[in-house]
């Protein structure tokens, strides 16, 4: 946590003011006849409602304000003060503010957590999962729990993951009359990627030339020809109307996954009465199932909508060529991120449902890591 402790980011200072003006949030005992909430806390997300990723925090908030199934917490006993749409900061500043006791709970993308824990870079690896079911099995199972528990060392409490499925490639192109079958079909394209060595190397191996630029500049960069496109979910493609920038191809490379995580301040969470901790954990699990249904419906709707706007959807029937091309990115993972991160990768590989893998999908991924 030294990186946080030695750099008091300007971005979280408005949140400090928010903490002072809102007052101390806590669990407070009430008498038998008391009215009103007994536990009040803040939950923050950078997401906007039309992204639908916003629903992760929103569903959790709504569930927490209901009565617990076993009656241990009454309806209205918990009140969640919800800050969304980046009103109190970017995802990075939200994570910092959660650490500094300014916010009790936040929703962030796991890519932001890599600033704390290098092991979380494993989620950026290409073709680590080949089905949504495999992805959810890991996130919601024992391996996902181990990733959440890793946050304890940073004074944070990982509460649960929310899967937002696969990233795919979209771009301007004359078309693929013979389909998309391997890296050669995507060479010559320039695609925007996040500033991440794994993502840059992955996209380069898949075929296009990876070009790191800020997300806020993407639409204009596509329109002016700085890049031909990018990679993201179908919902993000439609929300930002990249078809209006000229993107007419959406190729289902399904090369990496996205996931968000709900994180609480560790000291605050451990101070709660056991029934409140249980209720929060229970509400996360309920909202995960609700979110999975919403995201599946949203993805299907977005795929249909993009075709209505003249976008060609290219299905990749056999991803073996892409998997082989990107396998060095996985094999070199330990050398860059260390033994602990490599051990977590091994955990994922062991937990995956091998029956779902395509031929050669594991492709001799190194599991005997070199000394770092």
Q: Does residue 193 contact residue 203 with C-beta atoms inside 8 Å?
A: yes
Residue 114: inside a domain: yes
pTM of the model: 0.86
- Do 292 and 314 reside in the same domain of the chain? no
Give me the domain span that covers residue 283: 2-163+258-302
Residue 227: inside a domain: yes
- Do 92 and 236 reside in the same domain of the chain? no
- Do 270 and 347 reside in the same domain of the chain? no
Residue 369: inside a domain: no
- Do 109 and 193 reside in the same domain of the chain? no
Distance between first and last Cα of the chain: 21
Residue 370: inside a domain: no
- Do 86 and 47 reside in the same domain of the chain? yes
Query: What does the alpha-carbon distance between residue 202 and residue 193 come to, in Å, rounded to a whole number?
Result: 10
Query: What does the alpha-carbon distance between residue 159 and residue 148 come to, in Å, rounded to a whole number?
Result: 7
Query: What does the alpha-carbon distance between residue 229 and residue 6 come to, in Å, rounded to a whole number?
Result: 37
**Nearest CA to 229 among 314, 142, 184, 170?**
170
What pLDDT is recorded for position 211?
A: 97
273 backbone φψ class: left, alpha, beta (φ>0; ψ -120 to 50): beta
Q: Does residue 196 contact residue 213 with C-beta atoms inside 8 Å?
A: no
Residue 361: inside a domain: no
What pLDDT is recorded for position 306?
A: 97
- Do 196 and 330 reside in the same domain of the chain? yes
- Do 319 and 297 reside in the same domain of the chain? no
Report the chain (372 residues): mean pLDDT per 10 consecutive residues: 46 49 48 68 94 95 97 97 94 96 97 95 95 94 97 98 97 93 97 93 97 94 98 96 98 97 98 98 97 96 97 96 96 91 94 54 41 32
What pLDDT is recorded for position 207?
A: 97
Q: Which residues contact 285 (CB under 8 A, 6 or more apart)?
A: 160
Give me the CATH number covering residue 181: 3.40.190.170
- Do 66 and 27 reside in the same domain of the chain? yes
Beta-bridge partners for 42: 81
What pLDDT is recorded for position 18?
A: 57
Residue 58: inside a domain: yes
Residue 333: inside a domain: yes
Q: Is 21 exposed, middle or buried (0-12, 13-18, 19+ CB in 10 A)?
A: exposed
Residue 133's Cα: distance from chain center in Å?
16
Residue 184: inside a domain: yes
- Do 86 and 101 reside in the same domain of the chain? yes
How many domains does the structure of the chain reveal?
Answer: 2
């Amino acid at each position: 946590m030294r990186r946080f402790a030695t750099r008091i980011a300007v971005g979280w200072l408005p949140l400090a003011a928010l903490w002072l003006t809102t007052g101390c949030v806590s669990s407070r005992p009430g008498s038998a006849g008391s009215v009103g909430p007994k536990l009040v806390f803040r939950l923050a997300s950078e997401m906007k409602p039309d992204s639908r990723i916003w629903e992760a925090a929103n569903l959790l908030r709504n569930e927490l304000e209901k009565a617990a199934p076993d009656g241990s917490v009454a309806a209205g006993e918990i009140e969640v003060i919800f800050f969304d749409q980046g009103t109190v900061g970017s995802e990075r500043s939200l994570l910092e503010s959660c650490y500094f006791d300014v916010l009790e709970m936040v929703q962030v993308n796991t890519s932001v957590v890599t600033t704390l824990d290098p092991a979380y870079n494993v989620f950026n690896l290409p073709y680590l999962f080949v089905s949504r079911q495999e992805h959810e099995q890991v996130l919601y199972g024992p391996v996902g729990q181990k990733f959440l528990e890793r946050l304890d060392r940073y004074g944070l409490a990982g509460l649960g993951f929310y899967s937002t499925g696969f990233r795919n490639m979209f771009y301007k192109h004359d078309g693929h009359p013979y389909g998309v079958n391997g890296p050669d079909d995507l060479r010559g394209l320039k695609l925007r990627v996040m500033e991440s060595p794994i993502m840059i190397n992955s996209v380069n191996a898949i075929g296009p030339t990876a070009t790191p630029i800020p997300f806020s500049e993407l639409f204009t960069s596509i329109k002016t020809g700085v890049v031909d496109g990018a990679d993201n979910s179908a919902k993000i493609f439609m929300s930002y109307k990249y078809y209006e920038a000229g993107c007419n191809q959406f190729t289902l490379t399904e090369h990496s996954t996205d996931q968000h995580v709900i994180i609480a301040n560790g000291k605050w969470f451990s101070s709660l009465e056991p029934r409140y901790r249980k209720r929060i954990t229970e509400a996360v699990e309920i909202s995960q199932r609700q979110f999975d249904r919403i995201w599946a419906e949203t993805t299907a709707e977005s795929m249909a909508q993009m075709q209505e706007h003249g976008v060609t959807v290219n299905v990749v029937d056999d991803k073996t060529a892409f998997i082989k091309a990107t396998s060095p990115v996985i094999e070199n993972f330990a050398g860059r991120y260390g033994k602990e991160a490599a051990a977590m990768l091994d955990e994922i590989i062991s937990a995956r449902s091998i029956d779902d893998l395509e031929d050669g999908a594991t492709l001799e991924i190194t599991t005997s890591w070199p000394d770092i």
